[in-house]
């Protein structure tokens, strides 16, 4: 059988997908065990027990200065920044994307500006944001929003612009005005694409979040990772990175499920 036709069963897919991950874990454990047999106080490749002890401390013991449970406080702070940044970007993407995609004069006015902002590397703006907005929450949220919004706006605008011309004509012959075409024809069809755009923006959004937290912060997942780096605390860094990965995966899965649930017509389902 050709490989292009070789479809795996669900069980086989789980085995095939799990194997490389398991392999990496096993390689790590072997290397960690080897290092620890040579030097029991090795910090570079901590064993699971070491990670567990370090994390249990962060999870359950309140920080003596702030009284917070550090891990949960970090998570909450980071998710709040990420949520706000992505939320603002999503709002802009929806409104501007629809207007740029559906209305030629708005496209002519705003499209060059959005393109211009999109080509600026957002991290290069970080000093500007810190100077202009201070080192607080605002600059971090704005960095995420500026970082992901232009791509999302352009994606939604392109999607709306590529709706079949026939649909727009048809709506006009049904007596729809520009607003009704945006609200009833363009907006509903842009929504699944918007969720898709958020899923794709999650990766860059995390990059900007961790960068902003690394540079100037006193709480957050990125802040903690860069803080404990000074003490070579791989036993905290590795679980934190794994936690970030898990959060990102959960968000991605949730958005995909939401899209299927809310917009079945876009997924060819309920046949």
Partner 1 sequence: MSALLSLKNVWVEYGDKVVLEKVNLEVAEGAFLSIIGPSGAGKSSLLRLILGQETPTRGTILLDGQPLKPECGPDRGVVFQRYSVFPHMTVLGNVTFGLECPAAPFAARLFGTARRKAEAEATAMLEAVGLGDSLHLYPAQMSGGMQQRLAIAQALIKRPRILLLDEPFGALDPGIRADMHGLITRLWRDYSLTVVMVTHDIKEAFTLGTRVLALDKRRHDPHAPHRYGATAVYDLPLRGPPVPAPEPETAPEPVAATN
Binding site for partner 1 (CB under 8 A): 164, 166-167, 169-177, 179-180, 183-185, 188-189, 263-266, 268, 270-271
Q: Which is nearer to partner 1, 174 or 253 (CB)?
A: 174
CB 178 to partner 1: min, Å: 11
Cα distance between residue 83 and residue 162, in whole Å: 29
CB 261 to partner 1: min, Å: 15
* DSSP secondary structure code for residue 62 in this structure: B
CB 209 to partner 1: min, Å: 33
What does the CA dihedral 179, 181, 185, 189 come to, rounded to 10 degrees? Answer: -60
CA distances from 234 to 78, 146, 239, 247 (A): 20, 32, 8, 20
CB 71 to partner 1: min, Å: 42
Tokens of 66: 């702030």
Tokens of 117: 């902002």
Cα distance between residue 132 and residue 143, in whole Å: 12
Q: Residue 239 region, left (φ>0) first, then alpha (ψ -120 to 50), else beta?
A: alpha
CB 189 to partner 1: min, Å: 5
What is the CA 163 to chain-centroid distance, rounded? 27
CB 26 to partner 1: min, Å: 46
Q: Is the separation of the CB atoms in 103 and 163 below 8 Å?
A: no
Cα distance between residue 262 and residue 271, in whole Å: 15
Nearest CA to 137 out of 240, 219, 65 is that of: 219
Q: Which is nearer to partner 1, 18 or 188 (CB)?
A: 188
CB 153 to partner 1: min, Å: 21
Q: DSSP string of 176-223? A: --HHHIIIIIIHHHHHHHHHHHHHHHHHHHHHHHHHHHHHS-SSSHHH
Tell me the chain's radius of gyration from C-alpha atoms: 23
CB 101 to partner 1: min, Å: 15
């Amino acid at each position: 059988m050709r490989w292009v036709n070789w479809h795996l069963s669900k069980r086989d897919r789980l085995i095939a997908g799990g194997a490389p991950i398991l392999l990496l874990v096993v390689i790590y454990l072997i290397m960690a065990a080897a290092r620890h047999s040579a030097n029991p106080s090795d910090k570079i490749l901590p064993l699971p027990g070491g990670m567990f002890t370090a994390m249990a401390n962060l999870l359950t013991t309140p920080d003596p200065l702030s009284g917070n449970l550090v891990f949960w406080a970090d998570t909450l702070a980071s998710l709040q920044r990420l949520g706000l940044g992505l939320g603002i970007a999503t709002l802009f993407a929806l409104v501007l994307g629809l207007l740029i995609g559906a209305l030629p004069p708005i496209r002519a006015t705003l499209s060059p500006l959005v393109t211009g902002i999109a080509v600026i590397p957002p991290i290069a703006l970080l000093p500007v944001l810190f100077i202009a907005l201070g080192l607080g929450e605002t600059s971090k949220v704005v960095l995420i929003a500026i970082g992901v919004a232009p791509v999302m706006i352009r994606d939604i605008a392109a999607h709306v612009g590529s709706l079949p011309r026939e649909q727009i004509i048809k709506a006009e012959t049904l007596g729809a005005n520009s607003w009704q075409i945006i609200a009833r024809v363009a907006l509903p069809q842009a929504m699944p694409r918007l969720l898709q755009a958020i899923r794709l923006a999650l990766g860059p959004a995390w990059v900007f979040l961790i960068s902003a937290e690394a540079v100037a912060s006193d709480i957050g997942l990125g802040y903690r990772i860069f803080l404990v780096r000074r003490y070579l605390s791989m036993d905290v860094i590795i679980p934190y990175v794994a936690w970030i990965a898990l959060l990102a995966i959960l968000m991605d899965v949730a958005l995909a499920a939401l899209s299927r649930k809310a917009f079945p017509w876009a997924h060819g389902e309920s046949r």
